[in-house]
Chain A
């Protein structure tokens, strides 16, 4: 069965510092992994995805994520956090033919 876990409900980081939002997954086949961001009273916005190939994926707004098959992880990273990055972040996984499974979300607060 597919599942995805975001072990941290809340992450706080100082502006200008690097940020990491963690995600681990469980699938029986090849995973397709996605990151989305949600601002208050808005829908989810797509950030990036991993399908195959290079383990380091670059996405919107300076975000990147690293696929690690041995650790079944897909952590979201950014070298220098901005206050405007404060939002709710969701990791999602999908297998061929199946539905998307989303994590419960991580609330990121960037402190000025």
Chain B
């Protein structure tokens, strides 16, 4: 079974631009979460989606948004990019929305903002 895939793997943008990142979960998984990883900050939770509905949201500004499609694929968008948005963005999928479900991570998208 294929793992979580994320596209693109690397992205370079300039300040003020916007970016869309894509995540395809493991087949059969219906829950998708997004995280921002930066050195020293660890993983910061962005949002969690299940059945096209946002279930949980982290403490990020409104420039960060996401959505989930009927096939469970998910996208996240960052508008008006800032230098501090440079990070590894990780997507994780789980079978269901149960709190005991294991999340499986994709390889991440490395975003660099210049």
Contacts of A46 in B (CB 8 A): 102-104
Per a CB cutoff under 8 Å, which of A92, A99, A104 touches B58? A99
Contacts of A99 in B (CB 8 A): 33, 45, 48, 56, 58
Q: How far is the CB of B68 from chain A (nearest CB, A)?
A: 15
Give the residues from 81 to 109 in chain B that come closer than 8 angstroms, CB to CB, to chain A: 90, 92, 99-100, 102-108
B61 within 8 A of A: no
Closest-by-CB residue of A relative to B108 is A43
Contacts of A90 in B (CB 8 A): 42-43
Q: What band does the interface of chain A fall in when counting residues whose beta carbon is under 8 Å from B?
A: 20 to 34
Tell me whether A95 and B99 are in contact (CB under 8 A): yes
A67 within 8 A of B: no
Q: What band does the interface of chain B fall in when counting residues whose beta carbon is under 8 Å from A?
A: 20 to 34
Centre residue among B48, B92, B99, B105 by max chain A CB count within 10 A: B99
CA distance A9 to B81 in the complex (A): 30
Tell me whether A51 and B100 are in contact (CB under 8 A): yes
A96 within 8 A of B: yes
Q: How far is the CB of A22 from chain B (nearest CB, A)?
A: 15
CA distance A57 to B45 in the complex (A): 26
Per a CB cutoff under 8 Å, which of A42, A95, A103 touches B107? A42
Contacts of A84 in B (CB 8 A): none
The residues of B with any CB-CB pair to A shorter than 8 Å are 4, 33, 35, 40-43, 45, 48, 56, 58, 90, 92, 99-100, 102-108
Known: A102-B42, A102-B45. 12 other contacts (CB 8 A): A34-B102, A44-B43, A90-B42, A96-B99, A99-B45, A100-B33, A100-B103, A101-B45, A103-B42, A104-B41, A104-B42, A105-B42
7 contacts between A and B (CB under 8 A): A32-B100, A43-B108, A44-B43, A44-B90, A46-B102, A96-B99, A98-B99
